[in-house]
Structure formats: C-alpha cells, structure tokens
C-alpha cells in the first residue's frame, strides 16, 4: 500500500462530509420554501418537511424559482465524490483482501456514481439504481462482517443498512412518505457516524501497522 492510501486517503470522507455540510447549509439558507408536505410554505428550507434533494429542484413545490439550486448541486457533487472515496476505503477495515472486499468496492462506487446524477431529471431512477447497487455492495460486506471483531462498528453498519432500507422502501412505496424527510435526516446523521467511525478505524489500523514496521526491521 502506498503512502497516499495509508496516510491521507482515509481522511478524505471525513473532510468531504464536513465540506458538504457547510456548502449545503448555504444552499438551504437560500431555499425559498415549499415541500411535498406543505407546497405553499414560504418560510425557507424545513428540516422536518424538505428532502435533501429538494434544494436542487429548479422549481420548488410552491412554483417559485429556486435560486439555491447551483449551490445545492455543488454540495451534492461533493457528497457523491466523498462517498465514492469512502467505498474505496471501506474494505480496508478488514484484514484480508478477497473477492468480497473487491465487490464492496465495485458495487459501492457504482452506487455512489449513480447518486452523482440525482440532480438531473432522472432523480427517481437514480434513487433506484443507488439503492439496488448499494444493496449489492452490502451483501459481501455482511459476509465479511461475520468474522469482524469490532462489535460496535459492526452493529453500526447493520443499523445504517436497516435505516437505509426503510428510507428506500418508503420512497418507492410512498408508505409513511409524510415522515420520510425527517427520517432521511436521521438516517444521514447515522450514516455520517458510520463513515467517520470507519475512516477513523482505518486510520488507527494504518498507524498501528506503521509502528510495527520499524520493530520488524530491528529484529533482523
């Protein structure tokens, strides 16, 4: 493993999420208002009633021109690239590299590449692609988790996937759709916790591995 992958790359998702939240804050601040639940609202972005993607709509649910769209699209691109880098890093929590870890990388990156295009008119289709490809990445992840010793991180991964499935099914079936914007924010917060925790795990693992190298050299 090269120095860049070991020392710097695991910090990318953490930095990217922080940058996303900052840029999205400015987008949400410029959003004129209106949501699926309350189309005629004009009191700006609602944490409880607006989806994250609402800030990228050219026209709001109330029919107003959304001047926040350019900033929101930039924030979304930041998030998508951040998650692409995360799925490149995620398999590194495991000690062995095998077919399952490769599938986690391939399907995870494919899923987040689909996420990249959610700002286009094909939003709903991209949601489906993201969900299906993301699930295909989680299957080999769960297979590898059977031997994973960090119980806290393991439970967090299971919890994140469960919430993501609930959000995805609610979006597709429209069951509980009224509460979905709020649930989406909760899921995003838990997912952020998962991303940061996984990256910190890899960072600490790499540091421990680097400390062992001089010892091996001195013992020769």
Q: How buried is 8 (Cβ within 10 angstroms: 0-12 exposed, 13-18 middle, 19+ buried)?
A: exposed
- Give whole-number Cα distances, 131 to 61, 137, 200, in Å: 25, 10, 25
Round to whole Å and give the CA distance between 70 and 49: 21
pLDDT in tens, the chain (220 residues): 577 777 789 999 999 999 999 999 999 999 999 999 999 888 899 999 999 999 999 999 888 999 999 999 999 999 999 999 999 999 999 998 999 999 999 999 999 999 999 999 999 999 999 999 999 999 999 999 999 999 999 999 999 999 999 999 999 999 999 999 999 999 999 999 999 999 999 999 988 877 765 554 444 4
Round to whole Å and give the CA distance between 3 and 204: 15
Other CB atoms closer than 10 Å to residue 58's CB: what's the count? 9
Q: Which two tokens stand for residue 123?
A: 């939003």
Task: Give the model confidence (pLDDT) of 136-186 as tens digits.
Answer: 999 999 999 999 999 999 999 999 999 999 999 999 999 999 999 999 999
CA 198 to the chain's CA centroid: 12
Domain coordinates in residue numbering, the chain: 10-218
């Amino acid at each position: 493993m090269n120095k860049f992958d070991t020392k710097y790359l695991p910090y990318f998702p953490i930095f990217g999420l922080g940058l996303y939240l900052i840029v999205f804050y400015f987008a949400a601040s410029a959003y004129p208002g209106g949501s699926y639940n309350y189309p005629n609202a004009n009191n700006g972005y609602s944490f409880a009633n607006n989806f994250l993607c609402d800030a990228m709509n050219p026209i709001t649910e109330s029919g107003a021109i959304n001047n926040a769209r350019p900033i929101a699209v930039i924030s979304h691109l930041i998030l998508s690239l951040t998650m692409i880098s995360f799925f490149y890093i995620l398999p590194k929590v495991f000690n062995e590299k095998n077919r399952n870890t490769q599938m986690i990388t391939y399907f995870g990156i494919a899923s987040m590449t689909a996420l990249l295009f959610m700002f286009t008119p094909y939003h709903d289709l991209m949601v489906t692609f993201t969900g299906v490809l993301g699930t295909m990445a989680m299957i080999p992840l769960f297979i590898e988790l059977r031997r994973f010793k960090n119980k806290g991180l393991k439970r967090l991964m299971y919890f994140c996937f469960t919430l993501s499935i609930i959000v995805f099914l609610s979006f597709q079936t429209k069951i509980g759709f009224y509460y979905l914007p709020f649930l989406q924010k909760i899921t995003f917060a838990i997912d952020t916790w998962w991303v940061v925790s996984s990256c910190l795990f890899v960072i600490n693992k790499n540091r421990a591995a680097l400390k062992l190298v001089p010892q091996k050299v001195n013992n020769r």
